[in-house]
Chain A
C-alpha cells in the first residue's frame, strides 16, 4: 500500500528565506508523486509532478522538488519565499495501473510567510 508523510503540519519562514517542505512516501512500486497547493477557500492546484522522466522537477511559482529514491523523499523547495506563497501544501502519491488511480495525500503543511 502507498502512503505519504509530510513532516511538519506548520512551517513559518520570513519573506525571502528558503522554503523547504518535507515529504516522504512509501510505495512498493515506482510511484508518481505530486505537490498541490491550496489557497484559502479554494480547490487544489497542481504545483509539480514527478513521473520518472527527471529526478529534479520544476513547477510553477518558482517551486521545485527532487525525487530521491534512496531516501524515499520528494521535498518541495523554493529559494526565496514570497508573501503570496502562504497557503497549505499537499504531497500526494499515485501508482500507475492502480485499481483506483486515486491520489493518496499527506496531511498537509501550512506555510506562513512573515514580512
Chain B
C-alpha cells in the first residue's frame, strides 16, 4: 500500500518568503507528526496531530511556524518569513494511534534550503 508522501521533495526559497510543506499520511492513520532534521541538531519534534487537533504546539521553534490538518488526513506545515536557520529536512510521520508502541511510518522528507 501507499506510504507517507511529502511534497515538494526539495524547496529552495529566498529569505523572507513563506513556504508550505505538505504531508499525506497513510490512510486510516489518526496520528500525524512533524519532525525537523538539521545538521548538528539531529531529529527535532515539532508538532503532532490527533485527528485534526494539535493539542501541544510547544515544539514549534517560533511563531513563524504553523501547521494544520484537514479531514483527518493531509497536513500542511507553513513557515512564514523564512530564515536561513530554517534550512533543514522536514519529516512527516503517521501512526495508527498516538504514542506508546505504535510504529511511526516516515515520509521521505522535504529538503528546505533558504538562501
Chain A interface (Cβ < 8 Å from any Cβ of B): 32, 34, 36, 41-46, 49, 51, 90, 92, 94-108
Chain B residues numbered 76-115 whose CB sits less than 8 Å from any CB in chain A? 91, 93, 95, 98-109
Cβ A94 vs Cβ B48 within 8 A: no
Q: Which of B4, B43, B99 contacts A94 (CB under 8 A)?
A: B99
Q: Report yes or no: B108 in contact with A102, Cβ–Cβ below 8 A.
A: no
Q: Are B100 and A99 in contact (CB under 8 A)?
A: no
Which interface class (under 10, 10 to 19, 20 to 34, 35 or more) fits B? 20 to 34
The 8 Å CB contact of B91, one of A41, A43, A49, A94, is A43
**A43→B108 contact, CB < 8 A:** yes
Contact residues in B for A105 (Cβ distance below 8 Å): 35, 42-43
Is the Cβ of B101 less than 8 Å from the Cβ of A102?
no
- List the B side residues contacting A32 at CB < 8 Å: 100-101
Q: Shortest beta-carbon distance, B74 to chain A, in Å?
A: 17
Given A42-B108, A105-B43, A100 and B48 contact (CB-CB distance below 8 Å): yes
Q: How many A-B residue pairs have CB under 8 A?
A: 71
Of the residues B31, B42, B109, contact of A106 by C-beta under 8 Å: B42
- A36, B55: Cα distance in complex, Å: 26
Q: Check A96/B101 contact, CB under 8 A, given A43-B109, A102-B45.
A: yes
Residues of chain B contacted by A107 (CB below 8 angstroms): 42
When A and B form their complex, which 6 residue pairs have the shortest distance between CB atoms, in order from nearest? A101-B99, A43-B106, A96-B100, A101-B98, A105-B43, A51-B101
Say yes or no: B4 contacts A43, CB within 8 Å: yes
In the bound complex, CA of A34 to CA of B48 (Å):
18
Query: In the bound complex, what is the Cα–Cα distance between A97 and B98 (angstroms)?
Result: 8
Could you give 30 example pairs across A and B, Cβ below 8 Å?
Answer: A32-B101, A36-B106, A41-B108, A43-B4, A43-B106, A43-B108, A44-B91, A44-B93, A44-B106, A46-B104, A46-B105, A51-B101, A90-B43, A92-B43, A95-B99, A96-B101, A98-B99, A98-B100, A99-B55, A100-B45, A100-B55, A101-B98, A101-B99, A102-B33, A102-B35, A102-B48, A103-B43, A103-B104, A105-B42, A108-B42
